[in-house]
Amino acid sequence: MKKSYCAVGLMSGTSLDGVDMVCAQFTYHNTDKTWTYKILKTGYIAYPKQWKRRLSLLVKKNAITYHKTHTFYGHYLGELTNEFIKKNNLSGKLDFVALHGHTVFHDPHDLVTSQIGDGAAVAYLTGVPAICQFRTSDVAAHGQGAPIVPITDLYLFAQHRFCLNLGGIANISAKTAPPKAIIGFDICANNLVLNHFANYFGQEYDNEGQIAQAGQVNSGLFEELNQLPFYKKTYPKSLDAGWVKTALMPIFERYALEPQDVLRTYVEHIAYQIGQSIKNVNKTEEIKDNTNKAITMLVTGGGAHNSFLMEQIAKHSPVSVIKASNDIINFKEALAIAFCGVLRVRGQANALSAVTGAHRDTVNGCIYHP
């Protein structure tokens, strides 16, 4: 079996910003059974308005529109990947391309998850194998299908007990003692809400949290948000954009606050829920390493650039909060997709039941050959 793989990972998250691309080399070391990685190239393509609109409205469309979009989006991703390959002189160097696709439906309780983006189109256009559908086997085994990153945290970021991702949804993983090894779950909506209210000021996002910092915490809204039923559920658990629309937006509309006050309150809410999640894990899980090393939490995802949010998280968290390097902040999820592809090619589990609640560990990913 190969020990080294060169792969491209594509990630497009719930925030509908665009497509993250990373080319990385992954190497397995037999002596200590560990993995190392090296990021070789990165790229980002913002969605044009027509694709952002098309994807955001797809959940309301009919079956033929859904399938056409799945096909056309695959061709779009294939074209983007080809441009990335040519720009970075990667032709002939890749083992495969791994793509997450765009999530349209996610209802694991009904055994349903749907990520569009035709892998066959990507394989055809790029001339290298394409791997997609990284959640379906886990959901078929009655798992949450999310979060998808903890397998990467376990193998590539083992030095941090906690890894927090601040994307459209905030999710966390934690290393634990065997047999679990790692657990992970979604905490709350993050950029999905923050970006929505930044739009009121003509901004795509709240740069460094400046708008939120100018607002005031509304105690009534803060307390009501913290009483949402999702927060009382035990992990594993997951969220999607649909939950934001049905559970959160009606609350915001009822309070009718100034947008900056909603942002300030919601930043406090995010930080509080993250702190509570860490405390809960520390109470209920046995720590993997019982030495006196400082417990650290690596923070990645677009929200890590929000300095005001990071300050509030540090205030509420009983661990040392570490902001990752820019490459890891911006491209960790794409890196994780590429690594999930490596495990798929090797026939090894890339979704763990301890994280997702599935009946067993699963090997996820459909492989399309050119």
pLDDT greater than 60 at residue 292: no
More confident call, 289 vs 338:
338
Residue 199 has a CB neighbour count (10 Å cut-off) of 12
End-to-end alpha carbon distance in the chain: 22
From residue 222, alpha-carbon distances to 191, 242, 257, 274 in Å are: 17, 21, 12, 14
pLDDT at 179: 85
Using CA of residue 197, residue 200, residue 203, residue 209, what is the dihedral sign?
A: negative
pLDDT at 316: 98
ω into 129 cis (within 30 of 0): no
Give 16's pLDDT tier (boundaries 50, 70, 90): confident
Measure the CA–CA gap between 262 and 225, rounded to whole angstroms.
11
Q: What architecture is the 150-328 domain classified under in CATH?
A: 2-Layer Sandwich (3.30)
pLDDT greater than 70 at residue 288: no
Tens-place pLDDT, residues 136-179: 999 999 999 999 999 999 999 999 999 999 999 999 999 998 88
61-73: average pLDDT: 98
Domain limits of the chain? 4-145+337-368, 150-328
265-286: average pLDDT: 96
DSSP assigned state of 304:
G
pLDDT greater than 90 at residue 317: yes
Q: What architecture is the 4-145+337-368 domain classified under in CATH?
A: 2-Layer Sandwich (3.30)
Measure the CA–CA gap between 340 and 100, rounded to whole angstroms.
10
90-99: average pLDDT: 98
pLDDT at 15: 78
pLDDT greater than 90 at residue 14: no
pLDDT greater than 60 at residue 108: yes
pLDDT at 178: 85
